[in-house]
Amino acid sequence: MRYSESKNLKQLKTVFKDTQKIYEGQQKAALINYVQKQHNVFESDKKLGDGGVHHYIISPLSPESYEKLSPEQKKIMENESIQWCINSFNRYGFIGALEFNSDKSDKEYSNGFKNVKEGFHLHLAVSQKYKIRGQADLLSLRESLANHLSNNIDRDMRTVLGVKNKEEMEQHRREGISRTQKKNALENLRNDPEYIENDKAIKELNGELSQVFTILGVKHTLKNDLITMNKHERYNILNRKNALKNEMNSIKSDIKGRQNEIKFIDKFIKDEQEKMTSTEKFFQSEYIELKCFYQTQMMGFSYWADGQHGWFKKIAKDRLNNKEISTSEFLSQVAQNKSYWAWVKSDERKRHQIILKQRRSDFKAKLFEMGKIISERGRDRLAVVAIVTIDKKELEKRLAQYSEIGTKYNSHYEVFLKRIEQINQEIDRVRAKKLKLAQSKLQKQNKKQHLIEKILKFDATVGGKGFEALKQGMEKKYQVKITQGGTEADSINIKTKSIHIKKPKTEGAFAHLLRGIMKITQMSENSILNSLKTKNLFKVVKESVFTQFPQFKPSLEQTQSVDDFIVIFGKLKEVHKKREEDYSPSL
């Protein structure tokens, strides 16, 4: 049986090779040793154990596609391929590594591996517990890898590789449906009796006018020539008109992009100028503070130096009075000491001036660098403005051509265009109906989520059996582990597929649980909510209430909705509490 490949898989040419052999004992050790010698070795949290292993060789994309990528994009592709392996085989136990094709010899390999030097491939040693049952499983693995890469790389990489992510594929599918609808509408128009009648009348009128011009010998103008044109010539004119329209839309898009680029450059220049101003203000403030600090420090130092000189002079004078030195020696020593302290103060002052001068020099260099960046962006802006001017001139030229062709063509197809307008109105009506249905679906989804939250809020007041049943059902259906209570905060672990809810009786518990299931399973919120049965959940809560309050059962069974049940239960409980207080013995 043959299986069809998706467009993404055909573009990437993903290869998944199973050696179809279980490696045990020495062969297993040799395989693991070979894998560990390669690049970017990675392994699962779960150990391989003593059992045998499979050897899988995976080539995520063709060497031709890999060669088109930049070094950064190649790194992203390698990391995403490793991440897919971890997501796919983590719970079975494996060890894997990346090997570049350039590391291989010139030997040729079968099954898609040849003597190519571009690209890379992965080696995986996976536990024998993982089974591949045939071509269907191999195709599923290749499709899974291709989809993972397409959905986790950026738009530029998708354009280079020629693949689409989920949203782009859905948009392409919708456009295909829209084209089919328009084609069917045109077919219906051609078969419409009114259109056939109008077309016949136009053809007869054209023939009559042509005969009149021929009889009168009047030379046909360009407009009159249109009357005698066949459908192929008119179709060519329409094609030219549509081509010009597409060119104009492309030019307008380019102009819009350039204008956004100009806005971005203007914002960048403005931010740099503001940054430059704030830097200058900060420097001036800091410079003044440092200058004041040095002046204060210099005053203190001068005062201290003068004091030191005073002490020296006093000591020298005592030595003069004691006849230890002569008057000339006294004057010479005092003069030398005074000169020394004057030199020290001058040196300290120069040091301060050098520091201040260096600060100002650094600041000027910083301002020059910022000014240079602003000037470069200004030149970029002028270049973009010049391109926009050229595009606008080209747009004016195309507009003139489009207007000329439109003037020639519109007079001939008024009836046809009127029918096309009716078709477009019908399509708009269908789209509006579709949008209304989508909004109704969203409202229904929100209403269901609100109802579940209301049931769980009520359930929290009567024991929490409903939340427990909901938790067990989700664990079984989505293969996740849900824990609750303790001191650990709310958390979601995609790797271990576990969700922790600290306080299950709070209002946000269900929203956290729903968010966790969405992240782990990659399912939409709508799909998860559709799988939940509010009737079964409310049934569990009702049974819990009837078990605790059997006397309320006759009254509560008569309720028609969840709101009525909750309101009547509250009233019955209040009456029950009041009766207990009335019949309780007084102290």
pLDDT in tens, 227-279: 455 556 556 666 776 777 777 788 778 777 777 877 787 787 777 777 777 77
151-174 average pLDDT score: 86
At 515, the amino acid letter reads R
Higher pLDDT, 529 or 135: 135
pLDDT at 401 over 80: no
108-120 average pLDDT score: 57
Task: Flag the least confident range among 92-106, 221-235, 274-288, 340-354.
Answer: 221-235
Task: Flag the least confident range among 224-233, 453-462, 480-489.
Answer: 224-233
Share of the chain above pLDDT 90, in %: 6
351-375 average pLDDT score: 78
Q: Confirm if 201 and 50 have CB atoms less than 8 A apart.
A: no
Residue from 442, 439, 450 nearest 514 by CA: 450
Higher pLDDT, 333 or 220: 333
Residue from 124, 142, 120 nearest 69 by CA: 120
What residues does 42 pair with on adjacent strands?
A: 96
Written as six digits, the tokens of 332 are 């010479």
Residue from 82, 100, 84 nearest 42 by CA: 82
At 300, the amino acid letter reads G
| pLDDT at residue 422, as a whole number | 62
| pLDDT at residue 225, as a whole number | 47
Q: Confirm if 40 and 78 have CB atoms less than 8 A apart.
A: yes
| pLDDT at residue 382, as a whole number | 78
| pLDDT at residue 434, as a whole number | 73
How many Å apart are CA 141 and CA 95, to the nearest integer?
18
| pLDDT at residue 299, as a whole number | 81
3-state SS class at 400: helix
User: Would you call 573 exposed, middle or buried from its count of C-beta atoms within 10 A (0-12, 13-18, 19+)?
Assistant: middle
Q: Confirm if 381 and 266 have CB atoms less than 8 A apart.
A: yes
At 567, the amino acid letter reads V
